[in-house]
Amino acid sequence: MTILVLPSGSVDEWLDTLPAYQAALLVELGGREEPAAAAARWLESAGPSNTAPLGALKTGGDLFFLNLLRQLRTLLCATADATLESERAAVVRQAALGRTATVTAVAGLLGPLLGVAPVLIAPALALVLAVLSQVGQATMCDVLSSLISAREAERSDS
């Protein structure tokens, strides 16, 4: 298995990978204080009033964030699953180039798997990757699993 080492950086440094208007919106959503929660809020937001929210349902964004986390865990952590090994190797190569390349590569790989444009998930990924970049490989997978478990618990409570 190819080992991914994410570029390190603060939340602000990961937000710098995004266009200024997206970074500003994520900061307003609490991206500096609670990056994972802000990532979920980004995907749960309805956007412009004349468009349907993601998944056309109020709960669609929450489920979408959960699926995004699951796909990210499969990409970054799955050791027995070789289905994404070539994609993982591509992300490893891009990660060596820095945070912007990492966000772009991961969004480009996961977007089609989730059925959305990469630009839609890039802001949420930047925040989640900011959290993950602060820990080691083994802990990164544990953190992703914890985020998934927390989202599943929230969904079952509602």
Q: Could you tell me if residue 45 is inside a domain?
A: yes
Domain extent at residue 53: 11-157
Burial class (CB in 10 A: 0-12, 13-18, 19+), 28: exposed
Q: How far apart are CA 10 and CA 31, in angstroms?
A: 11
Q: Could you tell me if residue 94 is inside a domain?
A: yes
Q: Could you tell me if residue 5 is inside a domain?
A: no
Q: Could you tell me if residue 92 is inside a domain?
A: yes
Distance of CA 77 to the CA centre of its chain: 14
Enter the pTM of the model: 0.84
Q: Tally the domains of the chain.
A: 1
Amino acid at 71: Q
Q: How far apart are CA 63 and CA 34, in angstroms?
A: 19
Could you list the pLDDT tens digit for every one of the 158 residues in the chain?
Answer: 566 778 889 999 999 999 999 999 999 999 889 999 999 999 887 555 555 554 444 556 678 899 999 998 888 886 656 677 788 888 888 888 899 999 999 999 999 989 999 999 999 999 999 999 988 777 888 899 999 999 888 888 76
